[in-house]
Amino acid sequence: MAEEAEVVKNKQVVLKNYATGFVKDSDFIIKTDSTMSLKVPESSSKGVLVKNFYLSCDPYLSFLMQKSDSSLEAQFSRFSLGSTINGFGVAKVVDSRHPKFEKGDLVWGITGWEEYSLIAEPDSLFKIEHTDVPLSHYTGLLGMSGLTAYGGLFEVCNPKKGEKVFVSAASGSVGLLVGQFAKLTGCHVIGSAGSREKVDLLKNKFGFDDAFNYKEEQDLDAALKRYFPEGIDIHFENVGGKMLDAVLLNMRMHGRIAVCGLMSQYHQEKPEGLYNVASILIKRLRMEGFGVFDYLHLYPKFLDLVLPQIREKKITYVEDIAEGLENGPAALVGLFSGRNVGKQVVLVARE
Amino acid sequence: MAEEAEVVKNKQVVLKNYATGFVKDSDFIIKTDSTMSLKVPESSSKGVLVKNFYLSCDPYLSFLMQKSDSSLEAQFSRFSLGSTINGFGVAKVVDSRHPKFEKGDLVWGITGWEEYSLIAEPDSLFKIEHTDVPLSHYTGLLGMSGLTAYGGLFEVCNPKKGEKVFVSAASGSVGLLVGQFAKLTGCHVIGSAGSREKVDLLKNKFGFDDAFNYKEEQDLDAALKRYFPEGIDIHFENVGGKMLDAVLLNMRMHGRIAVCGLMSQYHQEKPEGLYNVASILIKRLRMEGFGVFDYLHLYPKFLDLVLPQIREKKITYVEDIAEGLENGPAALVGLFSGRNVGKQVVLVARE
């Protein structure tokens, strides 16, 4: 007879109603009456049961909480009302029926916003092999944000020493890393952000060559001409809208644009038009959308590059850690008011 | 004492005034009182003097006749008032001070819209080695149009057998070749054009799998969904504006868009906005502008592919030849009323 499985309480962040525009605290409920059996059910042929330690707050999560019938958004699988939301996180395996994972393994990947998660399809989980760096870094620098920055910059843009790089939303978790990876490659890097404080940090803490507050610029085209008198070779796009339109006017011949996010457009009724499309033709630009899932196979190569840089303290990384799952919704909501600097993380449980 | 050079009359097509919008006949004058000495002046260290046979009518020529201070157009070197216009053509070398060319050589490349041209910088001229095909083909199929179609399709889009390809302005000189090169690669190819006659030709003469008249479609998105129920893998863009916006909604994951021209936008006061930019991110699209000058080094490889296909009559090619330099302006103007099918050529002199 099988051993009786321990059953524990399992606090969860559940989608209460669809968001309209940026998510609000009131779109969530914290459900405290669920329980979880700490054994993968026998019906799950390769399931893994994990205890969650850290969760990653990412802008795309808000996108998955919208109710929308637009043909674009419909291509995403959005969260269901009344269900626990999910996203990237760091966790420890409590029980496993998957040959790749065993009890005690540390992992990062898609998990639930709850204390314990049963992951039915754990193939995209990564086992954490290096624990001489903070475990929380696997929500960002050593997880999705880092691999996104790495893939977008090196695979899409192929930067060369001396090239001029512009990063929008540069103080976000991905932008900060793109800027630093580009600096390590010998590029000249300028970022934009939405407050003086963030601009100061970009210049004085994160090693950007220069930075500006886009909210203080009446004319983004003029601002870019001031910071890039010879034009932009590489643009890492997190924002979209007017900024992307101004960037198109300031790209150099054969420039590359990695489209990583379009934060300014996610919650508009109708997106803003892009008018300077002719620049793509005239300057032979390459504009390419990508997502971290395109680059999962590069993770070992990415670690080889970035782990030594972390150990030698050549990369500056900042985390804003909200303590407690119940504070997760507010941490996520804060992303959209531009409150945080660096990676916003939610601590669910200590190791 | 140097031999006295023969001096001949040299009819020329001269820009009379800047065009506003599409070029008109009245924007040109035919100048009949110029003369040309048939010897490269000793001051020209590497000049070549040619007798022009055929000239190529291309949409971009109209663009170079606009007076505009927009920052985009300013990046092109436009034609000067009172000067002979120039473009791609086929010619014979009459005299040469360039080591690569000698009297009697047939060449194609940038030359003047006149009977004889002195080409000061002939480095981008190609010597014509194969004359078992019509010489006029070097204005198009074996010249700029062919190399443009080849570079855009194979270098930018990397087509694979079975992929779905959409070509806008498919009955133009480049579009016709893109469609046929894609068919030779085993793709499923659909084109759009602006008249029923052209649509019939695409389907019945040029081997497109299907085609439609965009002017008869109220809703371009719906039309594309009808012709591409599974979506578009590769789009070859000649038009821009609303068509490109509808295409973005219908691309498949990891689709490629080669931006070869934006004909619908060249002469607008303000370009139309592109609203479906989010598709680039969501579907991880690559959109890339290119020009034939990026692919000149591929010309020998291109000839290796295309010459056998021409000889085996596996490529259908149509030329619309206007006879006489004085009919050149009308032939060029006709491009923009959608009059011609296939390559519009001007015959200046017979071989």
- Domain residue spans of chain B: 7-140+318-347, 144-293
Res A167: pLDDT:
97
A225 touches chain B (CB under 8 A): no
Q: Please count the other Cβ atoms lying within 10 Å of the Cβ belonging to residue B196.
A: 13
> B242-250 and B220-227 are packed helices; what angle lies between their axes, rounded to 10 degrees?
40
- Are the Cβ atoms of A282 and B76 closer than 8 angstroms? yes
* CATH class of the region B7-140+318-347: alpha beta
Q: Positive or negative CA dihedral for B138, B139, B141, B144?
A: positive
Mean pLDDT of chain A: 92
CA A256 from chain center: how many Å?
21
Q: Give pTM, 2 decimals.
A: 0.89
Q: Roughly how many angstroms between the first and final C-alpha of chain A, as a whole number?
A: 32
User: Does the pLDDT value for residue B139 go beyond 90?
Assistant: yes
A84, pLDDT greater than 50: yes
Chain B contact set for A294 (CB, 8 A)? 284
pLDDT digit string (tens) for A142-180? 999 999 999 999 999 999 999 999 999 899 889 999 999
Residue A60: pLDDT band with limits 50, 70, 90: confident
Q: What element of type H or E holds A210?
A: strand A210-213
pLDDT over threshold 90, residue B2: no
Q: Chain A residues with CB inside 8 Å of B288's CB?
A: 280, 284-287
Q: Which of A129-138, A334-343, B69-78 is predicted most confidently? A: A129-138
Give the model's pLDDT for residue A21: 80
Q: What is the pLDDT of residue B330?
A: 95
Tell me whether B224 touches chain A (CB under 8 Å): no
Band of residue A73 on the pLDDT scale cut at 50, 70, 90: very low
What's the token pair of residue B57? 């009518």
CA distance A13 to B298: 57
Asked if the Cβ–Cβ distance from A72 to B261 is below 8 Å, we say: no
Which residue in A270, A285, A289 is closest to B275 by CB distance?
A270
B222 interface with A at CB cutoff 8 Å: no
Terminal-residue alpha carbon distance, chain B: 32
Is the predicted pLDDT of residue A214 greater than 50, yes or no?
yes
Closest CA to A138 of A123, A128, A125, A148: A128
Query: What is the token pair recorded at A206?
Result: 């994160």
Selecting from A261, A273, A280 the residue whose C-beta is nearest the C-beta of B281 gives A261
Q: Per-residue confidence at B341, pLDDT binned at 50, 70, 90?
A: confident
Task: Name which CATH class applies to A144-293.
Answer: alpha beta
| Class in CATH terms, A7-141+317-347 | alpha beta
Q: Helices in chain A by DSSP H: which ranges? A: 60-63, 144-150, 173-184, 196-204, 220-227, 242-250, 278-282, 299-311, 328-334
Q: Cβ separation of A277 and B280 shorter than 8 Å?
A: no
Contact A288 B291 (CB under 8 A): no
A111 contacts A50 by C-beta, under 8 angstroms: yes
pLDDT band at A71 (very low <50, low <70, confident <90, very high): very low
Q: How far is B205 from chain A (nearest CA, A)?
A: 30
Whether A247 contacts chain B with CB within 8 A = no
Determine whether the interchain pair B274/A279 forms a contact, defined as Cβ–Cβ distance below 8 Å: no
User: What ipTM was reported for this prediction?
Assistant: 0.88
Contact residues on chain B for A75, CB-CB shorter than 8 A = 282-283
Q: Give yes or no for A261 touching B (CB within 8 A).
A: yes
Q: Which residue has the higher pLDDT, A101 or A72?
A: A101
Nearest CB to B274 within list A261, A277, A289: A277
The Cα A9–Cα B311 span in angstroms is: 77
Confidence of residue A183 (pLDDT cuts 50, 70, 90): very high
Task: Name residues whose C-beta falls within 8 Å of residue A246's C-beta, 6 or more positions apart in sequence.
Answer: A220, A221, A223, A224, A276
Using CB atoms, which residue from A240, A283, A286 is nearest to B277?
Answer: A240
Q: If pLDDT is split at 50, 70 and 90, which confidence band does A74 have?
A: very low
- Distance, CA of A71 to CA of B219 (rounded, Å): 15
